[in-house]
Amino acid sequence: MLPTADSHQGRKFTIADFLKAGEERLRLSVAVGGDNLSREIEEPMANRPGLALTGFFEHFAWKRLQLFGNAEIAYLRSLPDAERLARIRSLFEHKAFCVIYTNGHRPRRDEIRVAHEAGAVVLTSALKTRELSHHSAFILERLGAPRATIYGTMIEVSGLGVLFEGDPGMGKSETALGLVKRGHALVADDLTCIRKDVANDKLYGSAAESTAGYMEIRGIGIIRVDKMFGINAVRGEKRLQLVISLRRLKDVEGEVDRIGQKRRFVNILGVDVPHMIMPVSEGRDLVNLVETAAQHEKLVSSGYDPVSELSERLRQRAKAGKTKR
C-alpha cells in the first residue's frame, strides 16, 4: 500500500540542484567549473575550512560545501602569493570540490586557474557568510530530505493534513472535491510527494510541481482548483497527520474496529502516522466521514479518549444500579 517508492537515506542531489533551489535566496553565481555542476553533494551542509587552510586536514569535512568568508579571505590574502595558492591547491588535493566566496568577494585570476586545474567549482555570493550559511542549511536539508511518493489524495481538513488512498474508482478525487467545496484545501490529487523533516521527525506532503493545483474528476476532466474556488482552496505543502485507506466494505468486514478502541498506524519513511480504514459502500457520505475522522483525530491526538470515557460512564452506571439493589 504505502509508499509506492521511497528513499530512507535521503535524496541524492548535485551542485546544479543546489544552484536552482537557492537561485533567489542565495544569489549565487558560477565563477569556475560550470561544466562540473553535476557533481553530487554528499553531505548537505556548509563548512568553514579555517583549520584546513592552515594545513591541518585531520577531520576535514571535504564532502561539504566550503565557505570562504571575510576571515578566510583575509588570512589567504595575508600570505605571499605562492603560499596562498599552495594552501588553496592543498584544499582541492584533499578532495574539496566546491568553494563559495561570500560577502561579494571574488576569486583572483590565479585562484581561478588553480580551481580550474583541480576540476573544482567556485561560486560567489554577495550575502554575508552567516546569512548564506543560514539559508543554505535550509535549502540543503530540503534537497537531501528522505522522500516517498504515494498514490493518494491529500487535503487539509480543519487544519489537519489528511491523505486518503485506495484503489481506482474508490472516490478519492470526488471526496476531495466535496471537501474543497466545504472550505477545506487541496494539497495534492492522485499522487502525493512526501518529504521527511529529519530534524523534528515529521512528514510533509505536497503535489508534484507539474500537477499542483489541478484535479481530475471523472466525467468532467481536469479542473484548476484555485481558479474555481479561490487561492485559499489550495495549499503548497502540509504536514501529514492522518492516513485514511478507502476500502470496499466486503473486503474489510473483519478488519474494521467498530468502536475505535485500538489506534492504527502506518509507517512512512520511519515515521508512524495515525491510520484509519474507512469502508466504502453505496450511500456512505465520504465527505462527511473524512471530515469527521479529521476532527476525531485532532481530539484523540490531544489526549481525549472517547472510548475510555464511555467505558467509565457505563461502569459507573452499572455500579450505581447494583448499589440500588
What pLDDT band is residue 313 in, cutting at 50, 70 and 90?
A: confident
Q: Under CATH, what is the fold of the domain 11-144?
A: 3.40.1390
Half-sphere exposure of 206 (CA within 13 A, CB side): 10
| CATH (one of 3.40.50.300, 3.40.50.800, 3.40.718.10, 3.30.930.10) for 147-308 | 3.40.50.300
What pLDDT band is residue 309 in, cutting at 50, 70 and 90?
A: confident
Where exactly does CATH 3.40.50.300 map onto the chain? 147-308
Could you report the per-residue pLDDT of 282-299, keeping only the tens digit for each? Answer: 888 999 999 999 999 999
Percentage of residues in the chain having pLDDT higher than 70: 93
Could you report the per-residue pLDDT of 154-201, keeping only the tens digit for each? Answer: 999 999 999 999 988 888 999 999 999 999 999 999 999 999 988 789
Q: Please give the backbone phi and psi of residue 316, each rounded to the nearest 5 degrees, phi first.
A: -65, -40
List Cβ<8 Å contacts ≥24 apart for 205-211: 205/154, 205/161, 205/163, 205/237, 205/238, 205/239, 205/240, 206/236, 206/237, 206/238
pLDDT score of 209: 87
Mean pLDDT of 70-85: 96
Where exactly does CATH 3.40.1390.20 map onto the chain? 11-144
Cα-Cα-Cα-Cα torsion 155, 157, 163, 168, nearest 10 degrees, comes to: -70
Could you report the per-residue pLDDT of 94-147, keeping only the tens digit for each? Answer: 999 999 999 999 999 999 999 999 999 999 999 999 999 999 999 998 898 899
pLDDT score of 4: 53
Between CA 16 and CA 77 the distance in angstroms is: 29
Decide: residue 120, CB within 10 A, 0-12 exposed, 13-18 middle, 19+ buried. Answer: buried
Could you report the per-residue pLDDT of 241-263, keeping only the tens digit for each? Answer: 999 999 988 877 766 666 666 78
Within a 10 A sphere around the Cβ of 129, how many other Cβ atoms?
Answer: 22
**Residue 50 pLDDT exceeds 90:** yes
